[in-house]
C-alpha cells in the first residue's frame, strides 16, 4: 500500500441503491489517472451508511474492477470486535488484499483497551490489518506509544493517520521506523510534507476528484523533486479543503461530477450541495486541474 490511495466514493443511483456499474467505472477512472491502490468502504465512501451486505458487495465490485497490480485496502472497522471481524472476513472473501480498521467509536475507550482490541482483530483477521486514526469522526487519536506497540504484531501491516498533525505524524514515524510498517497520511493538504517526513504514501479524498494532480505529488517525491511535490500540493490545498472540511462528501461528489467522473448521488442523511456551491466547486476544479 505505497504511493497514492483513494478512499473511493460510493456511487448511489436516484433510488439510493449502490450503482455497481458506476462503481466499476469509477475504479477505472481513478486508476487510469494514477491511483496506486484502492480503499473502498472508507470514510469518504459513506461506509457507515452501508449495510454489512452492501459493504461486502462494494469491496467485491472494486476488487473485480481493479487492474492487475492495484491492491485493495478495504475499510472493515466498526464499533465492536465481532462486527469488525465479520466485515473483515467478508472483505477477504470479496477479494480484498488488506483491511483498514478504524479505532472503535461511539463508546469511550482508553489506549490500553484500544491496543487490546487491535490485537484481537489482528490475531483473528484473515487479512493484514492497517490501523486507522481519524479522531474527527471517532474522538480517539491513536497514541504513538500504542502504534509502536502494535507495529511489531505480525499481522499489523501499517496505519492511516488522518489527524492532519504533522508533528504527531513524525512521532509515529520515529516510533515505527524499525518495523515493517506502512505509514500512510490521510490529509491531502499535508501529503507532500508528510512524504518529506517519511510517509510511505497517502489515502486522499482529493484523489477522487483530482487523481492525476495528487499523483503528481507522489511522482515528484519518488523522483527526488520534493520542491515540486510541495509546489503541486500548495496548488491543491484549496480544492482539498473544499471537498473535505468545506463541503464533505456531497461537495466531493459535486466536484467529481464537474469532471464527468461517475460519482453518483449521495445517500441520506447526506444532501446534495446547493447549485451555487456546485458551480463554485466546478470553477475551483477547472482552475486547479
CB atoms within 10 A of CB 118: 26
Instruction: Please choose, from the candidates 44, 51, 40, the residue with its C-alpha nearest in 3D space to the C-alpha of residue 83.
Output: 51
Q: What's the angle, vertex CA 185, arms to CA 60 and CA 281, rounded to 5? A: 80
Asked if residue 203 belongs to a known ligand binding site, the reply is yes
How far apart are the C-alpha atoms of 280 and 17, rounded to whole Å? 28
- 132 catalytic, yes or no? yes
Task: Record the cell numbers describing residue 150, joined without a space.
Answer: 502494535
CA dihedral sign of residues 175, 181, 186, 191: positive
Tell me, letter by letter, the H, E, C secondary structure of 84-140.
HHHHHHHHHHHCCCEEEEECCCCCCCCHHHHHHHHHHHHHHCCCCEEEEECHHHHCC
Options 106, 117, 118, 160, the catalytic residue = 160
Q: What's the angle, vertex CA 129, arms to CA 174 and CA 152, rounded to 5? A: 45
Phi and psi, residue 261, nearest 5°: -75, 145
How far apart are the C-alpha atoms of 179 and 158, rounded to whole Å? 9
Options 106, 117, 130, 132, the catalytic residue = 132
Residue list, annotated binding site for pyruvate: 203
Q: Which residues are catalytic?
A: 132, 160
Residue list, annotated binding site: 203
Amino acid at each position: 500500500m505505497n504511493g497514492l490511495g483513494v478512499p473511493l466514493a460510493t456511487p448511489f443511483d436516484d433510488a439510493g441503491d449502490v450503482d455497481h456499474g458506476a462503481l466499476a467505472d469509477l475504479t477505472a477512472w481513478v486508476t487510469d489517472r494514477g491511483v496506486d491502490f484502492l480503499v473502498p468502504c472508507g470514510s469518504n465512501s459513506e461506509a457507515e451508511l452501508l449495510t454489512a451486505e452492501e459493504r461486502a458487495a462494494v469491496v467485491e465490485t472494486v476488487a473485480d474492477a481493479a487492474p492487475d497490480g492495484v491492491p485493495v485496502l478495504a475499510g472493515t472497522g466498526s464499533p465492536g470486535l465481532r462486527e469488525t471481524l465479520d466485515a473483515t472476513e467478508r472483505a477477504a472473501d470479496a477479494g480484498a488484499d488488506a483491511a483498514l480498521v478504524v479505532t472503535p467509536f461511539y463508546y469511550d475507550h482508553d489506549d490500553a483497551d484500544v491496543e487490546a482490541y487491535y490485537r484481537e482483530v489482528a490475531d483473528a483477521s484473515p487479512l493484514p490489518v492497517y490501523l486507522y486514526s481519524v479522531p474527527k469522526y471517532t474522538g480517539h487519536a491513536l497514541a504513538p506509544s500504542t502504534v509502536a506497540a502494535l507495529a511489531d504484531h505480525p499481522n499489523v501491516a501499517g496505519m492511516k493517520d488522518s489527524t492532519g498533525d504533522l508533528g504527531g505524524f513524525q512521532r509515529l514515524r520515529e516510533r515505527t521506523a524499525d518495523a515493517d510498517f506502512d505509514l500512510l497520511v490521510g490529509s491531502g493538504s499535508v501529503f507532500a510534507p508528510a512524504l518529506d517526513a517519511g510517509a510511505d504514501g497517502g489515502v486522499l479524498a482529493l484523489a477522487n476528484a483530482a487523481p492525476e494532480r495528487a499523483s503528481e505529488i507522489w511522482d515528484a517525491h519518488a523522483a527526488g523533486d520534493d520542491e515540486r511535490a510541495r509546489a503541486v500540493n500548495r496548488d491543491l490545498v484549496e480544492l482539498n479543503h473544499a471537498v473535505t472540511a468545506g463541503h464533505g462528501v456531497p461537495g466531493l461528489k459535486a466536484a467529481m461530477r464537474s469532471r464527468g467522473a461517475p460519482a453518483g448521488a449521495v445517500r441520506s442523511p447526506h444532501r446534495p450541495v446547493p447549485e451555487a456551491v456546485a458551480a463554485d466547486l466546478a470553477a475551483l476544479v477547472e482552475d486547479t486541474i
